[in-house]
Amino acid sequence: MNALIFNCSPVRTGATAAMVQIIAEQLSARYETVTACIDDYSFRFCKGCRSCHKTGVCALPPDGAARIMAAFEAADIIVLAAPSYWADVPGQFKAFIDRCTPWSNTHEPHAALSGGKKGYAAVLRTGPGMQECERLTATVAHFLGHLEIPCCGSLCLTGVESRADIPANMQKILDFCDTI
């Protein structure tokens, strides 16, 4: 089985990247594991033209969004790791979600990923409250749901200002990995 751990933060070396690295190391004992960062891909914004609602194909030329979806297709397990940017997912990740409208089950026809995939959300924020983490987890679960991938679990870390705060959360990360 193949696992994709996707850093939805544009920061390749921050706290989210550190969390991704730990998750990948843990899962690599059980799965063929690939990591990627949203910043590794370049893609245009959705134009809202809705042509994909009629064709199931994006009207924009293929770009990084299609390459990310190819990575989703190759994976059996998809872990989406996102930090909080003003109480929601980073704009780069939201732009990618918008570009996934051709694969969304909200219209027919739509493109589709192969079945049997499982999704997971791993989110973190700087503040102490869980409400913001729950909002990010809901965004990830909503996105996965429209791709017909069940969100089978989540990890929510609070009080994470930087990469240096990740070791204090190691047991929570390890426990999360055990559920995958």
CATH number for the domain spanning 145: value is 3.40.50.360
Above pLDDT 70, what percent of the chain?
100
Tokens of 7: 């850093």
pTM attached to this predicted model: 0.97
Q: In this structure, are residues 122 and 79 in contact, taking their beta carbons and an 8 Å threshold? A: yes
Q: Which pLDDT band holds residue 97 (cuts at 50, 70, 90)?
A: very high
Cβ neighbours for 48, distance < 8 A, ≥ 6 positions apart: none
Question: Residue 11 is part of which domain span?
Answer: 2-178
Write down the residue that tokens 């791709």 correspond to.
Answer: 147
Convert the pLDDT of each residue in 47-56 to its tens digit. Answer: 999 999 999 9
Mean pLDDT, range 6-15, rounded to an integer = 96
Overall number of domains in the chain: 1
Report the pLDDT averaged over residues 28-54.
97
Tell me what the mean pLDDT of segment 19-32 comes to: 98
Region of residue 63 (left: phi > 0; alpha: psi -120 to 50; beta: else) = beta
pLDDT band at 66 (very low <50, low <70, confident <90, very high): very high
Closest CA to 72 of 30, 41, 46: 41
